[in-house]
Amino acid sequence: MAINLSKGQKIDLKKSTGETLTNFCVGVNWGAIETKGFLGLSKKVQNIDLDLSCILIDENNTICDHLYSPLYRVEVLQQFGLPKGKLVTVDNAMRHTGDDLQGDSGGDDGLDNEIITVDLSRISPNVAQIFFFLNNAGSEDFSQIPYSKIRMYEGTPTHVKSEFASYNVSAESQYVGKQSIIMGKLYKRNNEWKFSAIGDPTEDTFLGQTIHRIVQSYL
């Protein structure tokens, strides 16, 4: 049975079988905002563009790698001292499926819209922490977005084999009026990887602000 995460909760990456979770997906699922028109005869669909990202931190508390959308404008990233976005880490241990600009329309299809695949056995040995965060490229807050959910699971981007842990964002009142979330982090302790559900909402309107916040307040 999947673990329903709560803010601040820390978990070992141990499956019910006793085995350690080493290959898994971190995914975010959400829906477009759909409203009915006059007399319910028409439907208006408002696309929602959420961005799942992560930064990798080394033992010296320095950013050593990153995954975020290549669609972010380079000149804006440079204002925050950040490089162009990319979808694969240097060690090939983590991969991003790419930017979903819309969200599900017509109901939940059961699959995540943006996913980062993780192979802990291939992570560079100098990596000590991996922070996952979510930014809304639009102006909506998370309370307006249908069934926004974060989860860790075994499988592939197109097939969920076994859900390990999940965090239901849309059900949390603390996310009203917020456009970004520092979701959680993988961290290494005594050469074992663990996960901490941070779950802190922020007013950040751009990814660069969130990365600076993590470096300044969470390391």
Average pLDDT over the chain reads 86
pLDDT band at 42 (very low <50, low <70, confident <90, very high): low
Nearest of 115, 139, 133 to residue 180 by alpha carbon: 133
pLDDT band at 94 (very low <50, low <70, confident <90, very high): very high
Q: 165-190, pLDDT tens digit by residue?
A: 888 766 667 777 888 889 889 999 98
Q: Please report the pLDDT score of residue 104 as a whole number.
A: 59
pLDDT tops 90 at residue 76: yes
Q: Please report the pLDDT score of residue 147 as a whole number.
A: 66
HSE value, Cβ hemisphere, 13 Å, CA-based, for 77 = 13
Total domains, the chain: 1
Contacts of 75 (CB under 8 A, 6+ apart): none
Q: What percent of the chain has pLDDT over 70?
A: 87
Q: Please report the pLDDT score of residue 101 as a whole number.
A: 61
Contacts of 144 (CB under 8 A, 6+ apart): 33
pLDDT tops 80 at residue 141: no
Q: Please report the pLDDT score of residue 20 as a whole number.
A: 87
What is the average pLDDT across 63-86? 95
What is the average pLDDT across 120-124? 95
Q: Please report the pLDDT score of residue 39 as a whole number.
A: 62
Which residue range forms the structural domain that includes residue 77? 3-217
CATH number at residue 152: 2.60.60.30
Token output for 51? 């961005």
Contacts of 24 (CB under 8 A, 6+ apart): 117, 118, 152, 153, 154, 164
